[in-house]
Homo-oligomer: A and B are copies of this chain.
Amino acid sequence: MKLEMTERKERLLCAIVEKYIETGEPIGSKALVESLGMSVSSATVRNEMSDLVSMGYLEQPHTSAGRIPSSAGYRYYVDRLMNKYELSQNEKRVIETQLFKVSGEPQKILEQAGNILAEITNCAAVSTTPSDESAVIRRIELVPIGTKTAMVVILTSSGLLKSKVCRTEAEITLDMVESFYNMTMTHFIGKNVSNMNIAKIQTLAVSLGEKFFVMTPLLVTLCDLAEMTERTELLLEGQSNLLNHKEFESNAYEIMEFLRRSEPLNQIFTKNVEQKSDKFSPNVLIGKENLFRELQNSSMIFSKYFIGGRESGTLGIIGPTRIDYARLIPSLKFLTDIVGTILSDNIDE
């Protein structure tokens, strides 16, 4: 016999998920009947619940306990049953004012967004700085600090500013500074960031003559900076929130360390480029759906933000699977939209 989903099963699944999210305790048949005010008996519900277990939507911690949703159960709930919470005007306003309080570099804004997100979700929040392969170098500055040191500054069209101190092997003369500006002006300014790489530097180095010892370190530093602007940076906020969830009691260290090593997160964000069916709905990865072992007891919700219509970075949260999807998905959505707007405003006008 093939088990098929019925409307009543859906109602039960939905109630179980929501109640479990609320209480964190396994849900029994009797309590369920009561809280739903159903006109059937607990035995009937028991049969249905048993079916839901067979279908893979529920699990039992042990034989004589209630049921809890499985990853698939949460998935079904998120995709088909969930009643999305609508943020109130007031909530929106609070978020907006908190976010508009900071201004300046994208990092600061993303950091603040992460803080807000961490606070309203009680989860860890993560964000990536805007990456933009089509970014163009807008400006390069050389700020002499000592006779043999200078600070090199780069600014891209996406508003990213990076700087690094560089140490040369010979004195930096005014003449050198001028050569440097000339060289960057003709070869890099207005060009794509990826255009500035070691290979390119090497071809330029050939014709440097006696300026080699000053220019090479400067150009290499420039390369470093270019690479830094291309490499997205990962910002993490509110990790300690995870300690509030009892599901992380035993393995808090594992998850925190996992978050600290930013590469895996970056992988997740770039792999899931294909935004689900609806491009405007955040990605949700629930429990076992996560490829990394360390996350298989957790859920991630993340969403791209757009700068000037182009997918530029990610904003997301990480928490236990038992998380208020109905509220948090729209919240994240709202926040990514604002962040996109603010960052877009900073650039083109």
The interface of chain A, by Cβ under 8 A from chain B, is: 103-105, 138-139, 141, 143, 145-149, 151, 153, 155, 159, 161, 163-165, 167, 239-240, 243-244, 252-253, 256-257, 260, 346-349
Contacts and interface: CB of A to CB of B under 8 A. Distances in A.
A243 B252 contact: yes
A104 B347 contact: no
Contacts of A349: 146-149
A105 B165 contact: yes
Contact of A103 (B161, B164, B253): B164
B147 A143 contact: no
A251 to B, nearest CB: 10
Contacts of A147: 349
A40 B346 CA distance: 77
A147 B348 CA distance: 9
A346 B150 CA distance: 9
Contacts of A148: 349
A203 B348 CA distance: 33
Nearest to A346: B165
A216 B256 CA distance: 44
A117 to B, nearest CB: 15
Nearest to A258: B240
Given A151-B155, A252-B252, 19 more contacts: A103-B164, A104-B164, A104-B165, A138-B143, A138-B145, A139-B143, A141-B153, A143-B155, A145-B346, A145-B347, A146-B347, A146-B349, A147-B349, A149-B349, A153-B153, A239-B239, A239-B240, A240-B253, A243-B256
Q: Which 10 A-B pairs have the closest CB atoms?
A: A240-B256, A104-B164, A243-B253, A146-B349, A104-B165, A161-B163, A243-B252, A165-B346, A139-B143, A240-B257
13 contacts: A103-B167, A104-B163, A105-B165, A139-B143, A141-B143, A148-B349, A149-B346, A153-B153, A161-B163, A239-B239, A239-B240, A240-B253, A243-B256
